Structure 1
Amino acid sequence: MLRASLSRSRRGIGRTFKDGNRNTRIVLNGCQSFDESISVREAHTSGLYVHHTIAEEEGRDFASAAVTVGLINALTRSKSGVGFFRPIENTGVQVYRSQLIKDVFKLKEDVGLMQGVSQIRAFELLTHDRLDELLEEVYQAYSSYKANHDLVVVEGTHLKGVGHDTLSLNAKVASTLGVPALLVTDAGLILRKGVGTFSNLNGGDWKKDVVDNAKLSDVGFKHENVDIVGALVHGIPNTDNYESLLELFKARKLSLMGAIPQDHVLQSVELCWHGQIQVQDLVKILNAELLVGAEESNLSKKVTKYIVATSQLDDLLAHLQKGGDSSVVITTGDRADIILGLISLKQLNQGSSIAALVLAGEPISPEVGQLLKMQSLSSSVPILSSRLSAFDTTAVLASLEGGIGSLTVQKFEHAKDLFDKHIQANVISNAVLQDYVVSANPISFQNSIFSCAKEHKQVIVLPEGEESRTIQAAAAVLERGLCDLVLLGNHQTISKTAEHHNVDISSARVIDPLSSQLDTYVDYFYESRKHKGLTKEQARKTLMEDPNYLGTCMVAMGEVDGMVSGAVHTTADTVRPALQIIKMEPGIKVVSSVFFMCLPHTILAYGDCAINPNPTSEELATIAISSADTAAAFGISPYVAMLSYATGDSNKGPLIDKVADATAIAKSQRPDLLIEGPYQYDAAVNPDIASRKVKGSNIKVAGKANVLIFPDLNASNIAYKAVQQSTGAVAVGPVLQGLRKPVNDLSRGCTVEDIVVTIAVTAVQAIYRKEKAVAKDATVLSAA
């Protein structure tokens, strides 16, 4: 019975679960997309999160774009296959950053793949308190994108209108993606407008403000267990300020990778887009409709000046007659006098200083519309219709000074040179490419389970095929491509329920125990239980009346790979047929269970928290071995600690003796496993406490345990629920273990998502068992 699905966790979902001491693996064994099945200490990070510590000004994001360009260029020299990804894409009037990077570095992928979710979608989820769903959607998009890249630069976002700083959101995203962060601060923005969290506190001292903003982000990201590669600053007045800035960063224990000075080339309007702003750029920037003047000669006209026409035509003509400028005139859609006057000037060849006319805000009057239809495309001034108000249109165009666009070749090359000259690019590259502890969290853990199930698709039988939640879960599993499914039940009932919930299960195989030919299953069941007095008639009756027995026979016969039940049946109803027909693995004394506890710093396995009330020493040893194998199946290199109320020989008593005996038995049966005990919980998981409590030269588990075996069900069930409720940890399980083939039990209060996760978990168990069988056969052949 799956107690808590990953997607429903509200607390801690975005935290990074890192483990600097344990060998928690980042992959599920056997899954091709996770072939780098190695210890986390040996794994390279797959990305770098670029966090801008101060929100960029709308339309003036050229400075941050220049930094991103320089960074990607520097990383490309050290690593091939560098990509770019934005978790939340800003959807303002400016050119998308993703499109810009795609054009500059000639990336082949579609720009849509370089973005996680839109700002609109992010707002929708955040305002409905669905942060976990936002993080999961971003993670899924990032995982798909990074599969085709060796390294991904992930650029954070500042959501406009959120009402508070989005530092926490960016930190949670970086934590979820499992990547370190680079902190970037715009000193030029602080100098221009005194922008910055600490500006007033620091009395206008821009250097302190820069450092304090970076430190605030450093604290926020570290709170989410995100490693910080370092910090860099851009837009400082001159390089003479660098040494004093460096000292301030050192005092705050932050690594400064360099500082880029203010630069007139990046800020110059002459080098914007095609060497200078053109009319065609305005169309893109304003997302405007081009009403008149679509010829290339019109669109390529350069722009040097903007004029807002709010007064009379003669005032406008006075401005235009000054000459020497190529002006864009901004007015509203109801000013027929302005429109007609400018068209007339153009037709009289006296409007050479007019580059374009922008009609903003107000709807175009029918009279003006008719007037525009009469114009010749070749002889008229280009006329654009902007959806923004006249004020907003003017503000956007005024902010274009120093803008950086997709064809600004000069600016891009200059940005690369500036970065290389002033930033320790090799230090950043080495920091990014060094060994990091790869993060694990509920989202990534679930994603790895789903990815493995999808890659090695198994067949899972669902005996409760007529049950509403089971049918909805089956549809979700089939849609995601996680498994192939067999549903047991009446065809018509299943079809009607699926239709009622508007879900598609047409690709599932349906077997009706009451109308299908069951002879093969009856024979198998009879042969397996005739020594217990079972007759064929009883076997047939049981299979027709109890779908759990039929499903279990299908698993035992190899027709399907695993079974999930329990939405309407008790645990005993689910497990009993498995014990009778599938039976336990050789050498295994009892069926047991394990919970995967997704904690803020690691993922641990707790066993046994659901099945055995008071196991003997022999049974406890079996639970330890089974739990270690289950952990390995889910990508965790097991470090097994046998828990007690005393560590080592510090105390005596029958309860401690039971654990000590169980430890000795488990070690003798599986010398290949790392199993130690008796340990108190703190000595098992805390290295500092372990160093004081545990003595010996050959100690490998103390302080590093990730599989915790409790002495009885009383202790284990209390412990897992206490941790779950007190920390907000996600508990995945119980996962049944010890059977020859996987069968898992649901809670009768389970949700649709619980069933989906349990089906995927069962599939992963099946995959792992098949791999073990193949490895065993290979060993036998090798020995022969």
Structure 2
Amino acid sequence: MLRLLTKTRSLFSVLKKGNAANSASPLHCFSIASPSSSSCLRPAAVGPVPSTGVRSTFGDFLPWSFRRRVHTGIYLHHTNPGRGTDSLAVTLGLLHALDRLQPGMGYFRPIDKTTIGGNRAAMMKEIYGFEDDLTSMHGVTQQKAFELITTDKTDDLMEEIYKAFEEIRKRHDFLVIEGTSLKGWGGDIATLNAKLASLLGTSAVFVTDARGAIRNEIYRPKEEWELEILESAKVSDLAFKKENVEVLADIVHALPAAMRDVEALKRLFADANIPFAGAIPEDPLLHSLQVQDVVRTLNAQLLYQVRGVRAAMSTEVTNFIVATLQLSELLAYLPKNGDPRKGSVVIADSSRSDILLSMLHLHESHTFANIAALVLTGGMRPEKHVEHLVQDQADKSSLPVLVSQLPSFETSALLSKAEATIEPSSHRKIELAQLIFEENVDMDVITRALLKEQPIRMNPKLFIHNLFKQAKANKQHIVLPEGDEPRTVQAAGTILSRDLCEITLVGNKQAIEQVAKQYRVDLSGAHIVDPSKSPRTEAYVDFLYEARKHKGMNKDMAHETLITDCNYYGTCMVALGDADGMVSGALNTTANTVRPALQVIKTSPDLPLVSSVFFMCLPDRILVYGDCAINSNPTSEELAAIAIQSAETAAAFGIEPKVAMLSYATGTSNTGPLIQKVIDATEIAKKKRPDLLIEGPLQYDAAVNPETAKTKLKGKDNPVAGKATVLIFPDLNTGNNTYKAVQQSTGAVAVGPLLQGLKKPVNDLSRGCTVTDIVTTIALTAVQASTKKSS
């Protein structure tokens, strides 16, 4: 059980010790927090970490899918609406249990209610002593979330939440992330929470309200009720599995005494393949009103300061008594010799000074039961001479005297609808929540799952977010030759507004500014270069002439080429160091984009070949496909070069390269000239780069599916088969069609093509590209440029 682990041992220390003793199964733990964070888990390895020999410029901040780590957070998802006190009690119980196991714990809420952190974040901060600023404990407010969702800006919502999450993650080893109910929205809350859990890279624990499952229709048969509870969990389970989020456990709560057959529930959940951690029974104390609930409901003011105000505010309310009778008659309604932690709330008109004086006296009496509070209605303070009489007594009393602005009838009506809450001062409720959680929830179910390694998931949004982060951290200068093309202008505006790169647009300044005005794009931060007027043009003429004079080019031809062909101009800027990279192709063909680069920038001497890769962003991983855009029928030598280039590109973007050379056969299962080409290419690549993991020939399924790989390789262990991250296609026909088939059939995001093999980065766009495609390619080019500078 959880309590058997000492408070000083975190999940990570327990896990490390367990694996250190098992050298046959080394564990590689990677931090996804900032390396500068003093509280984060440092990148560590138990046992040797195999080197790929390829440098990764992204370091440890990118949670790429090839890595495995222990869980660094739990996403707490409430599967159905119920009473807030019940769901909050489960959160308090779970935090209490985890706090003893994981001292570096923090709390985060993606969407919270108010503009200053929200009720729950504030409560968790006060109860558990989190040192985080309250505003950093949530992503966005509910109002902000509504605005973004209803204006079709869900991507912006996700990005804001992730930025806030990244910041708080730097300060904690482990986070409990409590999902949102987004009350009043009416949309699919389960899907929204599943997407958030996927984005934040955590596993989930479900919390299912037994009463909420049947909307308080408590007279249904027990078996029907149990099925309703299960169905509530299954709806969320489907949503989370669709987003590839692992569900660690489901906790049922608010279970009435009439149906406390926990074993039956456990069997139902097991049949549905949903881990079940326990069922928490209802407890009347959690739903009891307290004086603080009266204050909140009425927005009442405290007339006098009282002794022990925190204890007074947490006193439970047993009933409400409206004092319309004489005092002698009222006394008959006040119970005697009750629990001092409970009491009646007396409601009286502010003119009833007799009630005020007598209640202050009776509250200190040992004859009558405790009076929880006195509410004076009508919004009036007592008359001055009465205040003088009661001042001395009130200062010594612990009876809260509240002033309601409403008349007695409206006050009573409002209090009849008051809902119980749990506040930081509700010590009995908090202790009860922690106790009944510990008694009824099997934390072994959760901790066993937490102690397992898990693949670190990657999704398209996270890939793009981290790509932008890296571009911004190492800002480069990118030239866009098609300067007056509308999509290019809009993309430039986006890049500048995000402060990702320095941008130069090539073209007529007036034409570019006209397009910017038409599309309401701010280009004030961009450089605009007109080749016919730029003082640098003559230097480019000389450079182009020297580079191409052996092909018969003279200076007049060089000048004409630079004035009329924007791609040559942009390429010369990159070649001479006036820009770090170039992106073109929204209007021009691939040939027109790549040809100047081949002629002027040229290829790297070690691998004199230009090829391409696509980053295929699948729901749960990133794969690198090459070559899908440039080489139609590469030779074995060229295929080997493509494999090596693609491995280096993968590593540059933080992906451990495990290269599969694809064919229509696996291993020695078939022969033929097409297969032999792949076999030869694999041998050449291995010989040139023995430090890389390269295997072939492999069929696609054997490359990415571990079970298929085991079958086709007859159980032989292989470091690439079933685990490939880089897939090299034997020809352009296969590669181009495969990437488009995967993209169209699965909804995967294809980022690219990214050209590789040039001395400096130049990247080509599809003529059907979107503004988002251009923005992403600019960021890719910037990271490429940064990598080349640092290699």
TM-score by length of 1: 0.78
- Among 704, 718, 723, the alignment partner of 2:723 is 704
- Among 57, 62, 66, the alignment partner of 2:89 is 66
Partner Cα separation in structure 1 for residue 461 and residue 470 of structure 2: 14
> Residue 466 of structure 2 corresponds to which residue in structure 1?
448
Query: What is the Cα deviation at residue 642 of structure 1?
Result: 1.8
1:744 pairs with 2:763: yes
- Among 342, 350, 356, the alignment partner of 2:349 is 342
Q: Which runs of structure 2 are paired with 1:181-196 in the superposition (5 Å)?
A: 181-187=204-210, 193-194=216-217
Change (3 A) 1:203 1:520: same
Partner Cα separation in structure 2 for residue 539 and residue 458 of structure 1: 28
1:472 pairs with 2:498: no
- Among 49, 53, 61, the alignment partner of 2:79 is 53
Change (3 A) 1:625 1:151: same
Change (3 A) 1:317 1:463: farther
Query: What is the Cα deviation at residue 438 of structure 1?
Result: 0.8
> Residue 137 of structure 2 corresponds to which residue in structure 1?
114
Query: What is the Cα deviation at residue 350 of structure 1?
Result: 7.2
Query: What is the Cα deviation at residue 711 of structure 1?
Result: 1.8
8 A contact 1:746–1:755 mirrored in 2: yes
Partner Cα separation in structure 1 for residue 788 and residue 593 of structure 2: 20
Query: What is the Cα deviation at residue 762 of structure 1?
Result: 0.9
Q: Deviations over 1:455-477 (max 9, x none)?
A: 22222222223333323222221
1:193 is paired with a residue whose SS is coil
> Residue 681 of structure 2 corresponds to which residue in structure 1?
662
> Residue 581 of structure 2 corresponds to which residue in structure 1?
562
Query: What is the Cα deviation at residue 542 of structure 1?
Result: 2.7
2:454 is paired with a residue whose SS is coil
Query: What is the Cα deviation at residue 757 of structure 1?
Result: 0.9
Structure with larger RCO (C-alpha < 8 A, sep 6+): 1
8 A contact 1:328–1:358 mirrored in 2: no
> Residue 82 of structure 1 corresponds to which residue in structure 2?
105
Runs (5+) with no aligned partner, structure 1: 1-22, 330-340, 360-367, 774-784
Letter in 2 for 1:107: F
Q: Which runs of structure 2 are paired with 1:415-426 in the superposition (5 Å)?
A: 415-425=433-443
Letter in 1 for 2:352: L
Deviates more, 1:653-662 or 1:712-721: 653-662
1:166 pairs with 2:189: yes
Query: What is the Cα deviation at residue 658 of structure 1?
Result: 2.3
Change (3 A) 1:620 1:90: same
8 A contact 2:62–2:466 mirrored in 1: no
Partner Cα separation in structure 2 for residue 101 and residue 681 of structure 1: 49
Query: What is the Cα deviation at residue 493 of structure 1?
Result: 4.1
Query: What is the Cα deviation at residue 436 of structure 1?
Result: 1.3
1:439 is paired with a residue whose SS is coil
1:30 pairs with 2:48: no
Partner Cα separation in structure 1 for residue 377 and residue 638 of structure 2: 81
Change (3 A) 1:31 1:660: closer
Letter in 2 for 1:741: K
Letter in 2 for 1:699: N
Q: Deviations over 1:32-71 (max 9, x none)?
A: 6717889512x233310112233222xxx22222221232
Change (3 A) 1:755 1:138: same
1:458 pairs with 2:476: yes
Query: What is the Cα deviation at residue 498 of structure 1?
Result: 3.5
> Residue 648 of structure 1 corresponds to which residue in structure 2?
667
- Among 158, 162, 166, the alignment partner of 1:143 is 166
Change (3 A) 1:625 1:378: farther
Change (3 A) 1:32 1:590: closer
Partner Cα separation in structure 1 for residue 774 and residue 330 of structure 2: 71
Partner Cα separation in structure 2 for residue 492 and residue 132 of structure 1: 33
Change (3 A) 1:51 1:542: same
Q: Deviations over 1:427-477 (max 9, x none)?
A: 634533542111111111111211211222222222223333323222221
8 A contact 1:90–1:157 mirrored in 2: no
Partner Cα separation in structure 2 for residue 419 and residue 221 of structure 1: 24
Runs (5+) with no aligned partner, structure 2: 1-27, 33-54, 335-342, 361-372, 389-400
> Residue 246 of structure 2 corresponds to which residue in structure 1?
227
Change (3 A) 1:328 1:752: farther
1:558 is paired with a residue whose SS is coil
Change (3 A) 1:191 1:612: closer
2:110 is paired with a residue whose SS is strand
Letter in 1 for 2:201: G
Partner Cα separation in structure 1 for residue 386 and residue 494 of structure 2: 54
1:769 is paired with a residue whose SS is helix
Query: What is the Cα deviation at residue 418 of structure 1?
Result: 4.1
Partner Cα separation in structure 1 for residue 329 and residue 145 of structure 2: 45
Query: What is the Cα deviation at residue 760 of structure 1?
Result: 0.9
Letter in 1 for 2:349: L
Q: Deviations over 1:224-245 (max 9, x none)?
A: 3222222334445679965666
Query: What is the Cα deviation at residue 343 of structure 1?
Result: 4.1
Query: What is the Cα deviation at residue 526 of structure 1?
Result: 3.0
- Among 704, 707, 712, the alignment partner of 1:688 is 707
Query: What is the Cα deviation at residue 146 of structure 1?
Result: 2.2
Partner Cα separation in structure 1 for residue 595 and residue 377 of structure 2: 77
Identity value in percent = 47
Deviates more, 1:590-599 or 1:413-422: 413-422
Query: What is the Cα deviation at residue 79 of structure 1?
Result: 2.9
Change (3 A) 1:692 1:428: closer
TM-score by length of 2: 0.77
Partner Cα separation in structure 1 for residue 477 and residue 236 of structure 2: 47
Deviates more, 1:523-532 or 1:65-74: 523-532
> Residue 364 of structure 1 corresponds to which residue in structure 2?
none
Change (3 A) 1:685 1:33: closer
Letter in 2 for 1:599: L
Letter in 1 for 2:56: N
8 A contact 1:236–1:260 mirrored in 2: yes
1:75 is paired with a residue whose SS is helix
Deviates more, 1:229-238 or 1:742-751: 229-238
Letter in 1 for 2:433: A
Deviates more, 1:297-306 or 1:258-267: 297-306
Partner Cα separation in structure 1 for residue 738 and residue 386 of structure 2: 78
Deviates more, 1:231-240 or 1:601-610: 231-240
8 A contact 1:64–1:186 mirrored in 2: yes
Q: Deviations over 1:372-401 (max 9, x none)?
A: 9x9999899723479xx999945651x22x
Q: Deviations over 1:515-558 (max 9, x none)?
A: 22114333333333333333333333333333322222222233
Letter in 2 for 1:447: H
> Residue 765 of structure 1 corresponds to which residue in structure 2?
784
Change (3 A) 1:493 1:220: closer
Deviates more, 1:169-178 or 1:446-455: 169-178
1:472 is paired with a residue whose SS is helix
1:154 pairs with 2:177: yes
Q: Deviations over 1:286-314 (max 9, x none)?
A: 6x5x7x877657996868488799xxx97
> Residue 550 of structure 2 corresponds to which residue in structure 1?
531
Letter in 2 for 1:382: V
> Residue 423 of structure 2 corresponds to which residue in structure 1?
405
Letter in 2 for 1:383: S
Change (3 A) 1:486 1:25: farther
Deviates more, 1:506-515 or 1:453-462: 506-515
8 A contact 1:646–1:678 mirrored in 2: yes
8 A contact 1:293–1:377 mirrored in 2: no
1:676 pairs with 2:695: yes
Partner Cα separation in structure 1 for residue 384 and residue 496 of structure 2: 58
1:610 pairs with 2:636: no
8 A contact 2:353–2:386 mirrored in 1: no
Q: Deviations over 1:567-595 (max 9, x none)?
A: 23222222111111111112324311111
Query: What is the Cα deviation at residue 219 of structure 1?
Result: 4.8
Partner Cα separation in structure 2 for residue 246 and residue 444 of structure 1: 36
